[in-house]
Amino acid sequence: MAERGQLPLPAKRLCSRPGYGSGCRLGQLVGGTRLGSGALCAGPAAAAAAAALGLLPFGKTQSPETLLDIAARKVAEKWPFQRVEERFERIPEPVQRRIVYWSFPRSEREICMYSSFNTDAEDYTAVPGGTTAGTVPSGGADTAATDESLLSFRRGIALLDGGCVDNVLQVGFHLSGTVTEPAIQSEPETVCNVAISFDRCKITSVTCSCRNKDIFYCVHVVALSLYRIRKPDQVKLHLPISETLFQMNRDQLQKFAQYLITVHHTEVLPTAQKLADEILSQNSEISQVHGAPDPTAGASIDDENCWHLDEEQVQEQVKLFLSQAGYHGSGKQLNLLFAKVREMLKMRDSNGARMLTLITEQFMADRHLLLWRQQGTAMTDKYRQLWDELDSLNKPHRTVFTRAIEACDLHWQDSHLQHIISSDLYTNYCCHDDTENSLFDSHGRPLWHEHVPTACARVDALRSHGYPQEALRLAIAIVNTLRRQQQKQLEMFQAQKKELLHKGVTSITNLEGWVGHPLDPIGTLFSSLMEACRVDDESFHGFSNTESVEQCKSLEYHHLPAHRFLEEGESYLTLAVEVALIGLGQQRIMPDGLYAQEKVCRNEEQLISKLQEIDLDDTLVKIFRNQAVFLLEAGPYSGLGEIIHRESVPMHTFAKYLFTSLLPHDAELAYKTALRAMCSSTTYIDQHQRERETALRESEPGLRGTCIKDSNTTCQDCIKGLWQERGSGTERDWLLVLESMVPSGDVSRPHHIASVVPNRYPRWFTLSHIESQQCELASTMLTAAKGDVRRLETVLESIQKNIHSSSHIFKLAQDAFKIATLMDSLRDITLLKVSLELGLQVMRMTLSTLNWRRREMVRWLVTCATEIGVYALDSIMQNWFTLFTPTEATSIVATTVMSNSTIVHLHLDCHQQEKLASSARTLALQCAVKDPQNCALSALTLCEKDHIAFETAYQIVLDAAATSMSYSQLFTIARYMEHRGYPMRAYKLATLAMTHLNLSYNQDTHPAINDVLWACALSHSLGKNELAAIIPLVVKSIKCATVLSDILRRCTLTTPGMVGLHGRRNSGKLMSLDKAPLRQLLDATIGAYINTTHSRLTHISPRHYSEFIEFLSKARESFLMAHDGHIQFTQFIDNLKQIYKGKKKLMMLVRERFG
């Protein structure tokens, strides 16, 4: 951070001397004698001690630290120098020097913090003596790969280590020096003048001539600061300049002033003259003030002791980031600023609050707020995230409590609440009833009925303000209330189940989910209870049964002795686990907005990760069983119930955790839970968009809730192998997909089930995450079901019905294949079949859609089928038209099946080889009929060893040549035929290709030219008759003069093929240009040159004149091949001269070359 100007740093305070009319400066004169003359203020003993201390070398660790250094260091840390002067009448010069010496910062961690974004303050631990432990390594090659956020600090170290810091001088509380920036490729060497003021071990201002504008210190300030910290003995130290001036007499002062003006006359002369005039004037302000400013004299009593922070730059940077908040980099920068505020607050740096205030002011002044207010639009998710971050910084450790007060106007005067939080003995075994708002349950334990997030906010408030036991008591009462409410919900649903299943519609029971809620109620309860059951020497308190504690100190979490609010056998650990399961399993609606939805997913994963740290014992497994049963039977109160809302948050992540936790203890229940979760989001993923469009077209609102009873939404069909034994009755248990929801209003009565009209169709921004979690759940079940045929079939059926992403199904297929073919175990043929079935489904799903991984999927499917055996390969070839495109079937499937590697891998005998080859040839012929353009060549290749199949494929090509195939495809097949030894078939296909070709006069680089030349060469090699037959096609299709002349030249160089049709030998004479067919080709070539010449001259520019002359030279060569070619060319040139006589320069070039 460098200031924008190079003006002198302002003095902190005024320093006065006897000559100014004030008293003697403290510590400077003793009986009228200067300090330098031998008289010390405290007598001989003090003088001797001071002299000795002045000679004491710095850094001699073998000697104990002197009392002077200890005292000076403490004074330098705590007192402004003005207070020292006012407190003591006389201050010896050695004492002043040690105070000035120790006043500079001694730790590098603050330098790093003020020069870089993210730092870890714990890595920079100051140690006595001015050195630092854990300092950042020196610069050089090793720093190239370091964190970019420490770039300024690292560069400063590099400059220091490179010897770039020079002329370091400390005058009082002011440090100056020069830092040389080495030359680089694009910039010359630069020298920066750096000045630093400091006070009480903090840098209070910085100036650098580099004029760098940034929030943090520039590299030159860093380099100079580190030089002073690491090499204090190499810094020449002087007392404040006012002390030096005081030692001068009048002549010396005049000489000092004149020399100073002479050296810097261009800069200071106007200022010097102005000051001189004001001093000589009796009425000037300077003359009326005692003392004069000294920028090196340290801080005054009234100065705030804080590190230098460029507030203007903080404001400008935040304003810039907010104006670009739509960009990823800007949000990242703001988050880094938030992290810097946290770092400063953690280190108790007052600038943390200052920076937070500046950031908040800029947020409040942001123009986007006014724009959203005027337009009536909601804040974007990115801005909402930044505001949440800002809010949490403005209210540290009290965020939940403060928001609860603002939202709900909390008070603590309720007597029942006071009793709950104040005593463990608050129970009542008589005053309870079975009503909803009963204050006690049947066991006499107190209950607390309040909006759950609000009640949990109370718990968090108590914890944050130092009342852990009170928070724990209230948390237990809330959890007991939730458990009682859960039981009531189950009873309510069981009473209404038949009616609800018959109607097929219901409502979401909680629009405000507890997991992902801004107040984080479940997380608060879980953390409070887990803290109580975490045992260590410091944090454990509140229990007298120390023996029980000592017995379980080897564990991290423990079942601590029972609390009066808990049932027998319960503990804080079981309560924490249970409330986490209750919150995670709650059926709750998906909130609006990307940020809110991501927060739901993130909080769910965080809570599950905490649960995974706990080792399950029999007590906890029992809780898992009970909660899993409730989730399956609780209908609309459970995210895994039989009745789910179409916009309910899916349970895949939670179900995966339940599945893995229950599997070793109750596999049947684990699979039931996981399979139910697989169905939970099927309808939204598959039908939401279609129904949304339909609903928007409806002109009249109405109830749209339905019970979708099809293959996509049926639970019982998915889990029929687990709910009952095979062969027994198949009672249908429909999964009800609900579209209705409770209107915004009272959601505190979760047992009220009502049908209402749907009034919103939110976008699920996290849909891809939801689908991936569903895929992870399915993969976990597949892995666990290895070796169990019944469960594998059940899981497969569930995947096929409920997963709608081809990429995810393909991933599951690959996972199943890997699990089935692990090297350390035998192949699981059932799991391989599951893998193949999933692969086949992927093929069907992606057959008519674009998918960039399609070829990979096809190749993998063939590999999977190969692993299973011959019958699988034969099956996919027999049904190729439902799985592959013709191109894929021939180029990948059939080719791979007939490869030698497949034969070797499967150890096929001759009969099996022929069976697969027959199926492959049949597939190839079918593909060639369906798509001859792309499959004909592959079909011919695959059918080479079977004469009948090969002839059939060739006939398919001939039939398709006239209408369905392009000249390039026909030329490719023709070349293949020649390579296989069928020249006449190649010639036939080449002539068919020529009929589709059309080259204009300027297409002399057309890719088909090589094919045309090859076709003519083939015809020429076959004989005169074949050449005569193809030349009319060439003349008709090609208008490019250079191509025609090339063909003509080649035909006249050699004799047509020595072997013609039926083995008849040709005469061996060169063909005449005056007779057919070459005469026709010659005339066409000359005509093409004439037409091309006129076309070129129409739009020719001077830069193309030389190219045109060369073109005419080639034309003359073709003209001269005719017997009267010279005459024709002369007439042609004369016509050009007459027609284009206006192009004088060009015609002059024509005359020079052609006469």
CA 424 from centroid of its chain's CA atoms = 49
- Pairing state between β 190-199 and 174-181: antiparallel
Q: Which residue has the tokens 């006043």?
A: 103
Q: Is 123 exposed, middle or buried (0-12, 13-18, 19+ CB in 10 A)?
A: middle
pLDDT score, position 505: 55
Spatial separation of the C-alpha atoms in residues 754 and 851, rounded to whole Å:
44
Under 8 Å between Cβ of 445 and 425: no
- The helix or strand, by DSSP H or E, that contains position 170, with its residue range, turns out to be strand 165-171
Spatial separation of the C-alpha atoms in residues 238 and 296, rounded to whole Å:
10
Judge whether residue 572 has pLDDT over 70.
yes
More confident residue, 465 or 337: 337
Judge whether residue 129 has pLDDT over 60.
no
Under 8 Å between Cβ of 877 and 915: no
- Pairing state between β 174-181 and 165-171: antiparallel
Q: Return the closest-CA partner of residue 1044 out of 1090, 1082, 993.
A: 1082
Torsional class of 719: left (φ above 0), alpha (ψ -120 to 50), beta (otherwise): alpha
Q: Return the closest-CA partner of residue 68 out of 50, 55, 84, 81.
A: 50
- The amino acid at residue 717 is D
pLDDT score, position 370: 76
More confident residue, 925 or 1141: 925
Spatial separation of the C-alpha atoms in residues 639 and 510, rounded to whole Å:
11
Lowest-confidence segment of 157-171, 390-404, 436-450, 711-725 by average pLDDT: 711-725
E-state strands within 747-897: none
Q: Is 786 exposed, middle or buried (0-12, 13-18, 19+ CB in 10 A)?
A: middle
More confident residue, 886 or 359: 886
Look over the chain and give the mean of its residue pLDDT values, rounded to a whole number: 77
> What tens digit of pLDDT does each residue of 744-760 get?
333 333 333 333 334 44
As given in the structure block, the two tokens for residue 937 are 């060549």
Spatial separation of the C-alpha atoms in residues 177 and 104, rounded to whole Å:
15
> What tens digit of pLDDT does each residue of 627-686 get?
999 999 888 888 888 878 888 889 999 999 999 999 999 999 999 999 999 987 665 555
Under 8 Å between Cβ of 588 and 639: yes
Q: Give the relative orientation of helices 594-611 and 521-532 as an angle to the nearest 10 degrees.
A: 20
CA 389 from centroid of its chain's CA atoms = 19
The SS3 call for residue 433 is coil
**pLDDT bracket for residue 914 (50, 70, 90):** very high
Radius of gyration of the chain (CA): 46
As a whole-number percent, the residues of the chain with pLDDT over 70 amount to 75
Under 8 Å between Cβ of 114 and 226: no
Judge whether residue 548 has pLDDT over 80.
no
> What tens digit of pLDDT does each residue of 1059-1114 get?
444 444 445 567 778 777 888 999 999 999 999 999 988 888 989 899 999 999 99
pLDDT score, position 58: 44
> What tens digit of pLDDT does each residue of 155-201 get?
888 888 888 888 888 888 888 898 888 888 777 888 888 888 888 88
**pLDDT bracket for residue 249 (50, 70, 90):** confident
Average pLDDT over residues 97-116: 84
Spatial separation of the C-alpha atoms in residues 1058 and 1072, rounded to whole Å:
17
To the nearest 10°, report the CA torsion of 318, 324, 326, 332: -50
pTM (predicted TM-score)? 0.61
Spatial separation of the C-alpha atoms in residues 148 and 152, rounded to whole Å:
9
Spatial separation of the C-alpha atoms in residues 757 and 760, rounded to whole Å:
9
**pLDDT bracket for residue 132 (50, 70, 90):** very low
DSSP string, 743-772: PSS--S-TT-------------TTHHHHHH
**pLDDT bracket for residue 965 (50, 70, 90):** very high
Q: Is 784 exposed, middle or buried (0-12, 13-18, 19+ CB in 10 A)?
A: buried
More confident residue, 133 or 608: 608
Spatial separation of the C-alpha atoms in residues 420 and 447, rounded to whole Å:
9
Q: Give the relative orientation of helices 618-633 and 572-585 as an angle to the nearest 10 degrees.
A: 20
As given in the structure block, the two tokens for residue 441 are 């349950």
CA 793 from centroid of its chain's CA atoms = 37
**pLDDT bracket for residue 966 (50, 70, 90):** very high
CA 107, 109, 111, 114 dihedral sign is: negative
- The amino acid at residue 750 is P
Judge whether residue 73 has pLDDT over 60.
yes
Q: Give the relative orientation of helices 789-802 and 767-784 as an angle to the nearest 10 degrees.
A: 170
Torsional class of 990: left (φ above 0), alpha (ψ -120 to 50), beta (otherwise): alpha
pLDDT score, position 557: 57
Beta bridge partners of residue 970, listed in sequence order: none
pLDDT score, position 744: 37
Residues in the chain: 1155
Spatial separation of the C-alpha atoms in residues 690 and 1041, rounded to whole Å:
60
With vertex at residue 683, the alpha carbon angle to CA 679 and CA 685, rounded to the nearest 5 degrees, is 100
pLDDT score, position 550: 37
More confident residue, 1075 or 846: 846
pLDDT score, position 676: 93
Beta bridge partners of residue 133, listed in sequence order: 125
- The amino acid at residue 103 is S
Under 8 Å between Cβ of 889 and 931: no
Q: Return the closest-CA partner of residue 872 out of 882, 861, 881, 883.
A: 861
Lowest-confidence segment of 177-191, 549-563, 727-741 by average pLDDT: 727-741
Spatial separation of the C-alpha atoms in residues 1062 and 931, rounded to whole Å:
35
Spatial separation of the C-alpha atoms in residues 398 and 781, rounded to whole Å:
42
Average pLDDT over residues 63-90: 80
- The amino acid at residue 993 is A
